[in-house]
Structure 1
């Protein structure tokens, strides 16, 4: 049985992993949606990684087959878990890939994201203030509304902290690129990966920035097919 640690992005709690967790457990695996201390101004990225460890080892569990699935800003946390527990695989779902010493706040300009997002917005005709169109355009309305209620105030502490690893861990890494993602457009992701995770070819999947809400069964199937 594989343990899947499900690491959320910025300002998010474990709720939005629920549909994917249900799919994974229904197929005989252990899924652990993680709550990070993202509202705590004293918490650093190391504390985020410790929260993942605490979640997967709770009640005496010692996973002997651990896969860490990270979404969005969770890409800054997931590699740090590899320094704390044996991790078989990292699965990045529309995730940010940090460079050594780079903060989450610096990542946007460093990767050319503002230009990519502006081009995508112009193509779609999206109002920059329309968050639903950016994040949840393929998510059922009721679920999207619930997701908005689960948004948390992300502390700037971890977001402004330089990423503390000197390199990406030597752990098998998969990147799941969401074809309909408006926040991280396809061409932008491919360029970022080519520069930061050479040799990692993204796997294109159906969905926007939150495929765990729009297509959880397909996402589970893709994760398990690796």
Structure 2
């Protein structure tokens, strides 16, 4: 039995996986959606990036999970990729869902052009937190009106330190087995750190004809991809 640990991206909590986790359990696997510190029901907590890594590692170790597939969506690829090397032999595979891939010494905002110039003023104007998108910002991502409302209502300001602090890796993330899920409504190409392991055949690429939040826009398709990833050697 594979244990899926499902980590949502910026602004979101464990609730974002509500339509994916049941499909994984029905297939006979474990599914643990996580809420990271400072978000959703944990919104009163302060958190830095290493706190988010510790949230993931701590859950795996506390529950003594084995044969783990760590799933990181968007921002959470950064802490998931770091947690993956820290859980050692418990790891089966990483799945990056339209996610940022961590690079030692680089932060989330370093990973995309103009990131600091875009994010840091927003943090300064909102008590060090990144405000969630408005409904209009979800346009063109394959989401129906109900899903957009869930994102707007459920989204919480994201703790800024997790976005600006650098990742800490002993080895490049590309050395661990992984699947990269590219959501095509959000662009055709994965981030640069994924290019080499994909080209070398160490990682598998899956393309989905949906937007950046596939757990809401295409939950059945995403669950199928995750189940396939669990079968990868």
Go from structure 1 to structure 2 and tell me whether the alpha carbon gap of 1:152 and 1:62 turns closer, same or farther (over 3 Å shift): same
Go from structure 1 to structure 2 and tell me whether the alpha carbon gap of 1:220 and 1:11 turns closer, same or farther (over 3 Å shift): same
Q: TM-score, structure 2 length as denominator?
A: 0.77
Given the alignment of the two structures, is residue 15 of structure 1 paired with residue 23 of structure 2, yes or no? no
Given the alignment of the two structures, is residue 213 of structure 1 paired with residue 216 of structure 2, yes or no? yes
Q: Equivalents in 1 of 2:15, 2:184: separation in Å?
A: 23
1:107-146 matched pairs, under 5 angstroms: 107-109=111-113, 130-133=136-139, 137-146=141-150
Given the alignment of the two structures, is residue 175 of structure 1 paired with residue 180 of structure 2, yes or no? yes
Q: Equivalents in 2 of 1:196, 1:110: separation in Å?
A: 25
Q: Equivalents in 1 of 2:215, 2:11: separation in Å?
A: 16
Structure 1 match to 2:37: 37
Q: TM-score, structure 1 length as denominator?
A: 0.79
How far apart are residue 76 of structure 1 and its match?
0.5
How far apart are residue 71 of structure 1 and its match?
0.3
CA contact (8 A) 1:97 1:196 kept: no
Given the alignment of the two structures, is residue 225 of structure 1 paired with residue 213 of structure 2, yes or no? no
- Residue from 87, 96, 102 that aligns with 1:98: 102
RMSD: 2.6
How far apart are residue 31 of structure 1 and its match?
0.6
How far apart are residue 143 of structure 1 and its match?
2.1
Go from structure 1 to structure 2 and tell me whether the alpha carbon gap of 1:47 and 1:40 turns closer, same or farther (over 3 Å shift): farther
Go from structure 1 to structure 2 and tell me whether the alpha carbon gap of 1:130 and 1:33 turns closer, same or farther (over 3 Å shift): same
CA contact (8 A) 1:5 1:69 kept: yes
Given the alignment of the two structures, is residue 69 of structure 1 paired with residue 48 of structure 2, yes or no? no
Question: Structure 1, residues 102-138: CA drift from partner, whole Å, max 9, x if none?
Answer: 1112211289xx9xxxxxxxxxxxxx9931215xx32
Moved over 6 A (4+): none
- Residue from 189, 203, 206 that aligns with 2:206: 203
Given the alignment of the two structures, is residue 186 of structure 1 paired with residue 188 of structure 2, yes or no? yes
Structure 2 match to 1:121: none
Structure 1 match to 2:128: none
Q: Structure 2: any 5+ residue segments left out of the alignment? A: 119-133
Which secondary structure does the structure 2 equivalent of 1:77 belong to? helix
Question: Structure 1, residues 143-183: CA drift from partner, whole Å, max 9, x if none?
Answer: 220111111111111111011114324320110111222xx
CA contact (8 A) 2:100 2:191 kept: no
CA contact (8 A) 1:88 1:171 kept: no
Go from structure 1 to structure 2 and tell me whether the alpha carbon gap of 1:165 and 1:110 turns closer, same or farther (over 3 Å shift): farther
CA contact (8 A) 1:101 1:166 kept: no
- Which deviates more, 65-74 or 193-202? 193-202
Go from structure 1 to structure 2 and tell me whether the alpha carbon gap of 1:154 and 1:190 turns closer, same or farther (over 3 Å shift): closer
